[in-house]
Amino acid sequence: MINEEIIIAGFGGQGVLSMGKILAYSGLMSGLEVSWMPSYGPEMRGGTANVTVILSKERISSPILTSYDTAIILNQQSLDKFENTVKPGGILIYDPSGISNPPTRHDLNIFSVEATKAATERNMSKIFNMIVLGGYLKVNPVVSLDHIEAGLKKSLPERHHNLIPANIEGLKLGSELIQRINLYKEAC
């Protein structure tokens, strides 16, 4: 049974809200119950932004959460705020370019995806968030690539549908770049 509670957090302008929206639409296309709840400061671009996404086979009782199965973190400020909200045994994914003090918890499955570096090297900065999302979906395939493509078609304005192939390329790249960070220790 799928019941995945996700927080995606970073700076405004990194595609945090878009990543959550695409994941939510993809969940809908998969026939799942979905909650998408954004949170951002009044400054938007450059300020902090996060979004909670819940994907479930069951009806979702509340979109408000205090702990998560997965945290996707794109800057140090968000890591400081959300690392301790991930449930033991959960997943934490981060882009190391925005992190000066990496996660240290030993009760999480921690992964790194160098999305900023890859997007910059390939002149694909607009799909940085899709590289991160591709890494997450490699680790936890809660929705299929077909459903992500359908979610992109639903969430992007039609005038931007020509960007869908580049977004799919970003997803595939992220699935190749994701690296496990071995801190996890089983509880005895």
pLDDT at 125: 87
Average pLDDT, the chain: 90
Q: Tell me which of 72 and 104 has the higher pLDDT.
A: 72
Q: What is the pTM of this model?
A: 0.92
Q: What share of the chain is helix, strand, coil (3-state, %, to 5)?
A: 45, 25, 30
Q: What residues form DSSP beta bridges with 51?
A: 8, 38
pLDDT at 64: 86
pLDDT tens digits along 12-50? 778 899 999 999 999 999 999 999 999 876 555 556 799
pLDDT at 55: 97
pLDDT at 171: 96
pLDDT tens digits along 139-172? 999 999 999 999 899 888 899 999 999 999 999 9
Greatest alpha-carbon span in the chain: 54
Domains in the chain, please, with CATH? 3-181 (3.40.920.10)
